[in-house]
Amino acid sequence: MTTQIATGTWTIDATHTSVGFQVRHLAVSKVRGTFDNVAGTIEIAENITDSKVNGTVEVASVNTRNADRDNHLRTGDFFAADEFPEITFTSTEITGEGDELKVTGDFTMRGVTKPVTFDVEIGGVLPNNGYGAQVLGFEATTTINRKEFGVSFNMATEAGGLTLGEDVKIVIEGEAKPRRLVPRVCAATGYVSRSIAGVQCRAHRA
């Protein structure tokens, strides 16, 4: 099955998007977390493999449901949030067909950029979410080695192992909506403009 997606710019709906991660803990379980502040765009082309994806997460918004652990993750032992406030992804290649794609791009964390490939499954497009907007649903997963991005902190256990694993699984469950242009009249000039919904208009003569 291939989902038909309208061409143009789709904006990530942060309210309905989760960027999560999980890492092995004490070799017997996993610790999971999310980033609460996320943003991004998807540029859908006529040929889906010509599309572009850009995404950003705010490092300081990390949330593992434990304040002490979150504060530690923001330090130089892990994300160094003050020095590197964002994790970004910019696609460079999209392959696949139908609703299953591979999206490869430049993944940047702690100032280190490396190619990363996400396995993406398109969940479908809802024509109307009840508020007049289309909704695109998707899931994207990948696994990175945190040490390749300068996140090498660890501690030995009494049993002789390490507290944390090196591999980090990233799971993104998201929704996106078409970026809408709406006509506006700027009171100061009377000029008509078209600008993104919800953003202050810039006047251009009609």
3-class DSSP state of 204: coil
Residue 79: how many CB atoms within 10 A of its CB?
24
- Taking CA atoms, 205 is separated from 180, 185, 193, in Å, by 20, 10, 7
- Lookup: tokens for 55: 């995404």
pLDDT of 3 reads 77
Per-residue tens of pLDDT for the chain, all 206 residues: 567 889 999 999 999 999 999 988 655 668 899 999 999 999 999 999 999 999 999 999 999 999 999 999 999 999 999 999 999 999 999 999 989 999 999 999 999 999 999 999 999 998 877 777 789 999 999 999 999 999 875 666 656 554 667 889 999 999 999 986 444 455 555 555 444 443 444 433 33
What residue segments make up the domains of the chain, in order of their start?
8-179
Query: In CATH, which superfamily holds the domain spanning 8-179?
Result: Lipid/polyisoprenoid-binding, YceI-like (2.40.128.110)
What's the first-to-final CA gap in the chain, in angstroms? 43
Would you say how long the chain is, in residues?
206
